[in-house]
Amino acid sequence: MAAHIEKINLIKAKDPAEALKYSAEELGAMLREASSSLRRFSSSGMEGLTGPLGIVQVGADLAAVDQLALIKFAAFISINLAVVNALPFPGLDGGQMIFVLIEALRGKRLSPRLENGINFVAVLLLASLSLTLIAGDISRGVSSLEKVMEANPLMSLPGR
């Protein structure tokens, strides 16, 4: 992953208006990238997704190369979380907005039991996705560790 990391150039604004302009441009670029990532996920499935362990690894790689890149990465993660949280999926804020919209259209709230059941199933699905991503992160980490150990005969696991 570190091979794809580029140093970030710091742009110094002349005044607050210019800083706001640069910030808006960067936010727009990050939002476009987040929505593009979401489209790629919806068309290719879980391939290329990483979980929290993979995100920490990318952050560590970035921190070793460039602190500004790490700050930009943290901002990108925050924007991605906001975009995903806004999706109209139960268990997320966007899903809650769907429930509010249904309530507005019907003139009355869905049964709390139904709403809770829908949210429960959605949270189980999200937890399953999270566990799957963590397992993938661990698998990639173990695979990477084995490659390092094969390349260096002085490093070996006990019993090998």
Per-residue pLDDT at 63: 85
Q: Is the separation of the CB atoms in 69 and 5 below 8 Å?
A: yes
Residue 38 contacts by C-beta under 8 Å, 6 or more apart in sequence? 83, 84
Strand, helix or coil at 33? helix
Residue 10 contacts by C-beta under 8 Å, 6 or more apart in sequence? 68
Give the residues of the chain that fall short of pLDDT 70.
Answer: 1-7, 45-48, 142-160
| b/e sequence 129-160, b meaning 16+ C-beta within 10 Å | eeeebeebbeeeeeeeeeeeeeeeeeeeeeee
Q: What residue has token string 């500004």?
A: 68
Q: Is the separation of the CB atoms in 56 and 64 below 8 Å?
A: no
pTM, entire model: 0.69
Alpha helices, H only, 86-111? 93-106
Per-residue pLDDT at 150: 55
Q: Is the separation of the CB atoms in 3 and 51 below 8 Å?
A: no
Q: Is the separation of the CB atoms in 66 and 7 below 8 Å?
A: yes
Reading the block at residue 105, the tokens are 């259209």
Quote the CA–CA distance of 98 and 60 in Å, as a whole number.
38
Per-residue pLDDT at 71: 87
